Amino acid sequence: MSFFFEVLVGGLLSGVMYSLVALGFVLIYKASGVFNFAQSAMVFFAALTYVGLVEHGLSPWLAVPATLVVMIILALLTERIVLRPLVNQPQITLFMATIGLTFFIEGLAQMVWGANVRGLDLGLEDEPLQWLSDKTGINVSKFDLVAAGVAALLVIVLAFFFSRTRIGRALRAVADDHQAALAVGIPLQYIWAIVWSVAGAVALVAGLLWGARNGVQYALTFVALKALPVLILGGFDSVPGAIVGGLIVGASEKLAEVYLGPYVGGGIEGWFPYVLALAFLLVRPEGLFGEKIIRRI
Amino acid sequence: MLYREAGQFKTSYRTDAAIFPIRQDRIAFALILAAAFVVVPLLATPYVFTGILIPFLILSLAAIGLNILTGYAGQLSLGTAAFMAVGAFASYNFVLRVPGMPMLLAFAGGGVVAALVGILFGLPSLRIRGFYLAVATLAAQFFILWFLTKVGWISNYSTSGVITAQPIEILGYAFTTPRAKYLLLVSIVAVMALAAKNMARSNVGRSWMAVRDMDVAAQVIGIRLMRAKLLAFAVSSFYCGVAGALYAYAYLGTVEPEAFSLDLSFRILFMVIIGGVGTVLGSFLGSAFVTLLPVLLSVTVRYLDSNLSLHIPESLISNLEVMIFGVFIIFFLIVEPHGLARLWQIAKEKLRLWPFPH
Amino acid sequence: MLAGKELVASGIIPSKKGRARTARLEDPLDTFPRLLLQHAKARPAAPATREKDLGIWQTWSWAQVAAEVRALACGLAAQGFHRGMHLAIIGDNRPRLYWSMAAAQALGGIAVPMYQDAPAAEFVYVLNDAEIAYAIVEDQEQVDKVLEATPQVPSLKHIYFDDPRGLRDYEGVASLERLLEIGREYDRAHPGFFEAEVAKGNADDVSIMLYTSGTTGKPKGVCQTHHAFIVSARGGCGFDKLGPEESILSYLPMAWVGDHLFSYAQWLVAGFTINCPESADTVMTDMREIGPTYFFAPPRIFENLLTQVMIRMEDASALKRWLFRRFTALARRVGPEILDRKPAPLADRLAYAVGNFLVFAPLRNVLGMSRIRVAYTAGAAIGPDLFRFYRSIGVNLKQLYGSTETCAYVCLQPDGAVKFDTVGQAAPGVEIRIADSGEVLVRGPMLLKEYYKRADATAESIDRDGFFHTGDAGVFVDGGQLKIIDRAKDVGKLASGAMFAPNYIENKLKFFAHIKEAVAFGNGRDRVCAFINIDMGSVGNWAERRGIPYSGYTDLAAKPEVYQLIRECVEQVNAELALEGSLSDSQIRRFLILHKELDPDDDELTRTRKVRRGFIAEKYAVLIDALYSSKTSQYIETQVKFEDGRTGMVAADLAIAETKALPAAAARRAA
Amino acid sequence: MVSQRKIGEVVLKVDGISLSFGGVKAISGVSFDVREHEIRAIIGPNGAGKSSMLNVMNGVYHPQEGTVTFRGKVRRDMNTYDAAAHGIARTFQNIALFRGMSVLDNIMTGRNLKMKATFLEQAIWIGRARREEYESRRKVEEVIDFLEIQHIRRTPVGRLPYGLQKRVELARALVAEPSMLLLDEPMAGMNVEEKRDMCRFVLDVNEEYGTTIVLIEHDMGVVMDISDRVVVLDYGKKIGDGPPEEIRSNQAVIDAYLGVAH
């Protein structure tokens, strides 16, 4: 039984990290209706940049803001060079553009920092929390806890950012109705730039955590893809959805792997979340938090 | 300017609804066919066949498949490669397990199996739309590949999961040389492209487009959404399945499921978008673009490298290619979001009205 | 001056005339129905008629046409139509309307096509004058007009319509479909009837009655025989080597002699294909689709086309505009010569070939003129620039001269000897003579039999020696080319005694794209003044390009900028006139731009758009007085008729513009 | 134009229809019938539930209460396919054309129920598929001719002015050779001339093909001129039903239009 909980908790905690990546998608989708496939690449890029900087002797504490700056520059360039010319194009076109962007970023990252796998040490060892295992017999990794903590913090910050700050409210306005937002005089480019920067920041955090856990390598982009089923579950435009979805995906895939895996020869983590999400959608097309769509003519 | 249509009038609906109503187009098309069937086989080198023409043709077929689903029926899919994989492995097993199975029939069989799988994964499209569906199709992509790897029977229990496609033999003739394979492919692709065009210009195609453009209105004029969508998935997957089979038999030879990765799905999606959504012609143009671009890139880069003796490391070159590819795609979407086919269409209009602008 | 002495054009005449005269006795193909049956027998499957309908070009072979005509004829007969009766035909160019002409003629009847755009009121006169009892009408619009007229036309008993749309509940009209059924029925009941009727036909029977819109007085019915039109058609076909493979667009009013010659007489003589456009507003696209090999249009249509070309080229890219300017300039220089296979420098020929690939051929293509072998214009004088333009881009455009009374067959321009200021040489079988008065007199088989019920008019227009008085003043220039100056009766004298030819001046004015109509005055006065109608399309476009706002015709016409624009045109004409010796006194001293467009519905123009000089002079007397006074402006109110028959008032204060006139001598020195 | 039409039996009957969207009532307990060959108008202020009513009649919406009786068959609710298959065609208030297709293709889609060929036959483009295609094309051309839109055949519908788009939509409905035609504000946003044409077309359709017509229209003049009977809805309730002259003098209706408080 305790083993079950161990798996569950472990799953939930790693799920938190999916949520992190998902958050990046959500932010951008919410504000600009762009389905940003490049988010995963951004995660990879952030992690790689950080590691690269540290390797070149920058202190970890400076490396973080430095990387952040890089991410923001990247975001601004993206808005200026890719998005602005594509304003008012159909969503699919923008989606394709972000795939193109993905290629570019991945290529760039590996060209600058090389393709070989790197470790990333945040100074948290991935070992069970002693007193917890003593008390309950459930092993929970410190690392995971910290990660969860960070994620939680980030969510709170974002929530605050959205509800309290002027820009945040502007973003919501845009999310609700582009025309209206424009009407009240909010420059779309400005909004997009900010959103992408924020998404970049989120990507950085996610990148650091994932990198620290699995090592920084190309495979990171695939882990990041897991954010997609999370999005289906949670809905593309709901922050809480992203969180909850992340938890569900994390937990379910671990449980599935542990309890189902053996029967079907393992390796089901790769697809289980998708099939789960799919099955879920068939029951509830509007997702976890989206409200029922009444299509009027 | 080159179009001289005065005097080309239609006296029947048959001629009016022809695929190429304009004489000049018919002539051009005839020339292209002649080139494809006669000139190219005489001139092309083995490298050109295997390195460019064969993948181009196969991927064009896959692109047509995806275009039917995404371009005509408006259902975005990211799982194309998976359906190709199904086609490939199905054909393999048909040839393997059905004694005396004709090769072409095996390909078709692969397509049919892919179609059935397509229908299965198309079911969600009845409830969900847009990107949700797109992501849902990723489920197909990942699940199918996993399934193909896990179930040993499919790869005939080869330890590595890799299968070796049997040699193509039709009516006793073995298609071993690149040229022979090429000719076989051109024929198959030509026929299937024609069939696609026919569907596109008749009731099926219109129903798909109706569903794509406005499903409620489509329902009201008596189009059954479920039927139309699932049919689109089936036909599309059939094309992808056949393409997959050819990919395995005429191109790769030895195949593992990984050959049909998400990356391939995306490449094909690019072909559709860059070539032109909702046009058969676009599928070919897109395929040409996406297959040729990397070739040209590596050629140029290596050329520069050797001539300017920059000594660029191999890894850097490959990364550079990836980047430039990405840049090209973005550039392209910005310049002509409706794809090469639209460019041609515009040019054609201009030529028809020349010297007038409109 | 050749006036007074008879001139027999080209030696062929006597022989040809002789043959025509004698041949008629045994010629089996001397009536239109016989020609039709001949084609149906000789080439039953060849296309005879096409119509753009339901999106495609519906085609009828000669055999089918013959069958339809047979059924129509039998149907009419069954309904009591018989030899000598008149059959009114009203509507746009529709296959069945052409066929009903043949049907009527097969029964020895006489077809009377009428101008479909005339209001009901104008129908009344013609219907009564021709004692119409049977009418075949295109559609609801026309039926409504005819029914509106019937109360005043006691004779009219039977009305058949072609297009049933909206007519199902109408009383006292029947569909052609029904008539055809009746006909087939009757045919079955009376085998051989049709053949017998056709056999009774005689070449000297009147086949058609065309009403001259006559610039003065009520229209007169011109009676033409099978022979007249067949001879004219044969002459024309021989002259231009027209064969069965020709294809022609039939879009001009069926009541017009031109259309009857080209779309009916020559159709049945040469056995080519006529093509009826889908509707009036798709003529240009239909023309492009069909790509006729033989084309006929009055100058104003060629003019509209050219205006269209110019306007559309304005929006073209700089490169295209440059190409267009560059090559049309070249073409203007050498095009016509190359078309006439005259020697031209090799360099020019090469340049022209390039131009042909880049500009001319595509242009001909978009205009639907790619396949044209022979194109004719007539009915009014055509501007030299206009005329040259089409020839320069390789369209073999030629002029002919004729009238309703002569089957539109008097003079033709032979290939290779085309001049813009003449109407060509006497057509085969035609004798021309210039009277001392300068009037053109013609004689030949194409002459009218008579004006219907107007012996007086007939007598005064055909003299003792059988010459018809065309009413045109003309001269022969360089060996046999006839040059028409003006309407004979319009030619007058200025107070100074100098010759005054208003049309001549008006045409010079109308050659400018900006000027649509012009009316010159001066007979018996000391100087020439003119009314101008600006061309809404061309001037409107001009105004837009210069950002001059305007609300409508009246407003635009009053703009000072427009006056300036027109003044320039007028002064250019003056410069030309100054060079023409005797006419140099006819330079225009003052003009005004009318506040409304001259309109047939207001009786200011004939249906064929000839100005009704006298009528206009009365109607706008005040304006004329103003022109000849020293006033600089004049207020006027005019009643106008709108398309839907309502009437309204247009009022305006018209400015009067002065123009420079050059002294003849000075101009000559300048030249 | 003198009408020879014979108004026949009741063909469609809605009974106690109630419809609501997530708690918001759009229609409550509305009943009325439509007779063969008549022109039936539904009028009412904005938001009176007129469009919703049409959507119920051809199965786009499914009412919570009430029944639809069509040609004697009582249904809990229609579904769009049955409606179309039984000859109910429909146009929409805000034009529902297929923007990616040409006028011709748009209208051709209206024939889909008349085409029986399987997609395979169509793919090979033989026999039945081909024949049906050409037959349909002919029918389509007749309607194009009827509605006088020959000149725009090949134009993409997106490029057309509003008035013509409405016409194309009507054409698409007509080629299905419907026995009943539901028109949702066919003349909305048209200028006087376009309205006159559209009226003529509606009457012609009703005359030439004897099609039963149910239309929603705001222009009272038009409604009173062309309709045989009028239903008046207000806040989802029926407040009047009868021939035009009767409606004109109906107090409730007058109030509703003058916006007198309820």
| Residues on chain D touching B218 (C-beta within 8 angstroms) | 98, 109
User: Is B322 in Cβ contact with A101 (below 8 Å)?
Assistant: no
Say whether pLDDT at A197 is over 80.
Answer: yes
User: Is C54 in Cβ contact with D1 (below 8 Å)?
Assistant: no
Specify the CATH number of the domain C492-670: 3.30.300.30
Q: Residue C427 carries which DSSP code?
A: P
Edge-to-edge strand list for the sheet holding C450-451: C174-175, C158-161, C134-137, C86-90, C110-114, C206-212, C220-225, C450-451
**β-strands C220-225, C397-401 pairing:** unpaired
CA distance D127 to D129: 6
Domain that holds residue B290: 44-353
User: Which pLDDT score is estimated for C639?
Assistant: 82
Q: pLDDT tens for residues D14-29?
A: 999 999 887 788 899 9
CA distance C18 to D156: 62
Tally Cβ neighbours within 10 Å of residue B43: 9
User: Which pLDDT score is estimated for C9?
Assistant: 38
Which of C54, C365, C393 would you mutate first to test chain B, the one with the most B CBs within 10 A? C365
Domain assignment present for residue A275? The answer is no
Q: Which two tokens stand for residue C508?
A: 């010079």
User: Is D21 in Cβ contact with A297 (below 8 Å)?
Assistant: no
How far out from the chain centre does Cα C253 lie?
Answer: 9
Q: Residue B165 carries which DSSP code?
A: P
Q: Which residues have C-beta within 8 Å of that of residue C670, sequence separation ≥ 6?
A: C662
CA distance A8 to A14: 10
User: Is C368 in Cβ contact with B4 (below 8 Å)?
Assistant: no
Say whether pLDDT at A125 is over 80.
Answer: no
Say whether pLDDT at A56 is over 80.
Answer: yes
CA distance B21 to D102: 16
- Which of D3, D141, D208 comes nearest C54 by C-beta? D141
Q: pLDDT tens for residues C158-172?
A: 999 999 988 878 888
- Which of A292, A294, A297 comes nearest D92 by C-beta? A297
The least confident of A259-273, C11-25, C37-51, C231-245 is C11-25
Closest CA to B7 of D15, C293, A2, C196: C293
Say whether pLDDT at C10 is over 70.
Answer: no
User: Which pLDDT score is estimated for C215?
Assistant: 55
Chains that touch A (3 or more CB pairs under 8 A): B, D
CA distance C558 to A127: 95
User: Which pLDDT score is estimated for A292?
Assistant: 58
Indicate the number of domains in chain A. 1
Which amino acid would we find at residue C107?
L
SS3 B76: coil
**β-strands C47-53, B254-255 pairing:** unpaired
Q: pLDDT tens for residues A131-159?
A: 766 776 677 778 878 888 888 888 788 87
Judged by CB atoms within 8 Å, which residues 336-355 of B form the interface with C? 353-355
Which amino acid would we find at residue D178?
P
Which amino acid would we find at residue C223?
C
User: Which pLDDT score is estimated for C20?
Assistant: 43
Q: What is the 3-state secondary structure (H, E, C) of chain A?
A: CHHHHHHHHHHHHHHHHHHHHHHHHHHHHHHHCCCCCCHHHHHHHHHHHHHHHHHCCCCHHHHHHHHHHHHHHHHHHHHHHHHHHHCCCCHHHHHHHHHHHHHHHHHHHHHHHCCCCECCCCCCCCCECHHHHHHHCCCCEHHHHHHHHHHHHHHHHHHHHHHHCHHHHHHHHHHHCHHHHHHCCCCHHHHHHHHHHHHHHHHHHHHHHHHHHHCECCCHHHHHHCHHHHHHHHCCCCHHHHHHHHHHHHHHHHHHHHHHHHHHCCCHHHCHHHHHHHHHHHHCCCCCCCCCCCCCC
| Residues on chain A touching D51 (C-beta within 8 angstroms) | 297
User: Going by beta carbons, is chain D in contact with chain C, meaning 3 or more pairs sit under 8 Å apart?
Assistant: yes
- Which of C165, C166, C278 comes nearest D150 by C-beta? C278
Query: Above pLDDT 70, what percent of chain A?
Result: 87
CA distance C570 to C579: 15
| Residues on chain C touching D5 (C-beta within 8 angstroms) | none
Instruction: Please calculate the CA angle A215-A229-B81 and round it to the nearest 5 degrees.
Output: 85
Q: How far is D113 from chain A (nearest CA, A)?
A: 22
CA distance B82 to C576: 82
Which amino acid would we find at residue C36?
L
CA distance C408 to C410: 7
Q: How far is A221 from chain D (nearest CA, A)?
A: 36
Say whether pLDDT at C15 is over 50.
Answer: no
CA distance B227 to B218: 12
Which amino acid would we find at residue C415?
D
Closest CA to C652 of C671, C628, C626, C629: C626
User: Which pLDDT score is estimated for B297?
Assistant: 80
User: Is A100 in Cβ contact with B327 (below 8 Å)?
Assistant: yes
Which amino acid would we find at residue B82?
A
User: Is D124 in Cβ contact with B198 (below 8 Å)?
Assistant: yes
How far out from the chain centre does Cα C526 lie?
Answer: 34
| Residues on chain C touching B23 (C-beta within 8 angstroms) | none
User: Which pLDDT score is estimated for C31?
Assistant: 95
Average pLDDT, integer, range B86-114: 95
User: Which pLDDT score is estimated for C48?
Assistant: 97
| Residues on chain B touching C364 (C-beta within 8 angstroms) | 6
Q: How far is C632 from chain D (nearest CA, A)?
A: 41
Average pLDDT, integer, range C514-529: 91
Indicate the number of domains in chain B. 1
Q: Binning pLDDT at 50, 70 and 90, where does residue D5 land? A: low
Q: Which two tokens stand for residue A120?
A: 């990333």
Q: How many residues does chain A have?
A: 297
Say whether pLDDT at A162 is over 80.
Answer: no
Phi, psi (deg, nearest 5) at residue C532: -125, 140
Query: What sign does the CA torsion over C538, C542, C545, C551 have?
Result: negative
Say whether pLDDT at B353 is over 60.
Answer: yes
User: Which pLDDT score is estimated for C644?
Assistant: 67
Q: Is B270 exposed, middle or buried (0-12, 13-18, 19+ CB in 10 A)?
A: buried
User: Is B270 in Cβ contact with A101 (below 8 Å)?
Assistant: no
User: What class has domain D1-87+178-262?
Assistant: alpha beta
User: Which pLDDT score is estimated for A228?
Assistant: 83
Give the dihedral of Cα atoms A135, A137, A141, A144; nearest 10 deg: -80
| Residues on chain D touching A90 (C-beta within 8 angstroms) | none
Task: Give the start-to-end residue ranges of the domains of chain C.
Answer: 31-229, 492-670
CA distance B54 to B247: 9
Asked if residues C538 and C520 have their Cβ atoms less than 8 Å apart, the reply is: no
User: Going by beta carbons, is chain B in contact with chain A, meaning 3 or more pairs sit under 8 Å apart?
Assistant: yes
B130 → chain A, closest CA residue? A92
The least confident of A280-284, C9-13, C128-132 is C9-13
Say whether pLDDT at A297 is over 70.
Answer: no
How far out from the chain centre does Cα C427 lie?
Answer: 18
- Which of C55, C169, C279 comes nearest D2 by C-beta? C169
CA distance B324 to B294: 9
Q: pLDDT tens for residues D54-68?
A: 999 988 899 999 999
Which of A92, A101, A276 would you mutate first to test chain B, the one with the most B CBs within 10 A? A92
CATH code for position B257: 1.10.3470
Closest CA to B255 of B93, B119, B24: B93
Q: How many Å from the N-terminal Cα to the C-terminal Cα in chain A?
A: 53
Is the CATH number 3.40.50.12780 carried by domain C31-229?
yes
Q: Binning pLDDT at 50, 70 and 90, where does residue C507 land? A: confident
Asked if residues B251 and B260 have their Cβ atoms less than 8 Å apart, the reply is: no
CA distance C517 to B230: 66
Q: pLDDT tens for residues D111-146?
A: 999 999 999 999 999 889 999 999 999 999 999 999
User: Which pLDDT score is estimated for C295?
Assistant: 96
CA distance C529 to C519: 9
CA distance C344 to C181: 62
Say whether pLDDT at B132 is over 60.
Answer: yes
Q: Is D101 on the interface with B (CB under 8 A)?
A: yes
pTM surpassing 0.90? no
Q: Which residues have C-beta within 8 Å of that of residue B126, sequence separation ≥ 6?
A: B225, B226, B229, B230
SS3 C322: helix
User: Is B143 in Cβ contact with A274 (below 8 Å)?
Assistant: yes
Chains that touch C (3 or more CB pairs under 8 A): B, D
Asked if residues A277 and B135 have their Cβ atoms less than 8 Å apart, the reply is: yes
Q: pLDDT tens for residues A228-251?
A: 888 888 888 777 888 888 888 888
Q: pLDDT tens for residues C68-116?
A: 999 999 999 999 999 999 999 999 999 999 999 999 999 999 999 999 9
User: Which pLDDT score is estimated for C664?
Assistant: 67
CB-side exposure of C538: number of CA atoms within 13 Å?
Answer: 21
Q: Binning pLDDT at 50, 70 and 90, where does residue C411 land? A: very high
Domain assignment present for residue B6? The answer is no
Chain D residues within 8 angstroms (CB to CB) of chain C: 1-4, 137-138, 141-142, 144-146, 150-151, 153, 204, 207-208
Q: Which two tokens stand for residue D120?
A: 């395979």
Q: Is B214 on the interface with A (CB under 8 A)?
A: no
Q: Residue B153 carries which DSSP code?
A: G
Query: What sign does the CA torsion over A259, A263, A264, A266 have?
Result: positive
Q: How far is CA C137 from CA B139, B242, C91, C112, in A?
A: 69, 62, 6, 12
The least confident of A62-66, D43-47, D230-234 is D43-47
Asked if residues A274 and B139 have their Cβ atoms less than 8 Å apart, the reply is: yes
Domain that holds residue A146: 2-224
Instruction: Please calculate the CA angle C64-C69-C74 and round it to the nearest 5 degrees.
Output: 125
Most confident by average pLDDT, A163-177, B193-207, B319-333: B193-207
| Residues on chain A touching D22 (C-beta within 8 angstroms) | 292, 294
As a whole number, the mean pLDDT across chain C is: 88
Alpha helices in chain B (DSSP H): 13-16, 23-34, 40-43, 46-47, 54-66, 80-97, 103-122, 130-150, 178-201, 203-213, 215-220, 225-246, 262-275, 280-307, 314-335, 339-353
Domain assignment present for residue B62? The answer is yes
Q: Is A296 on the interface with D (CB under 8 A)?
A: yes
Say whether pLDDT at C11 is over 80.
Answer: no
User: Which pLDDT score is estimated for C21?
Assistant: 43
Task: Give the start-to-end residue ranges of the domains of chain D.
Answer: 1-87+178-262, 95-176
Q: Which residues have C-beta within 8 Å of that of residue A135, sequence separation ≥ 6?
A: none
User: Which pLDDT score is estimated for A294?
Assistant: 54
- Which of B16, B195, B217 comes nearest D92 by C-beta? B217
| Residues on chain D touching C277 (C-beta within 8 angstroms) | none
Say whether pLDDT at C322 is over 90.
Answer: yes
D95 → chain A, closest CA residue? A297
The least confident of C33-47, C53-67, C177-191, C653-667 is C653-667
Q: pLDDT tens for residues B289-307?
A: 989 888 888 788 778 877 8
CB-side exposure of A262: number of CA atoms within 13 Å?
Answer: 3
Judged by CB atoms within 8 Å, which residues 5-44 of D form the interface with A? 21-22
Q: Binning pLDDT at 50, 70 and 90, where does residue C4 land? A: very low
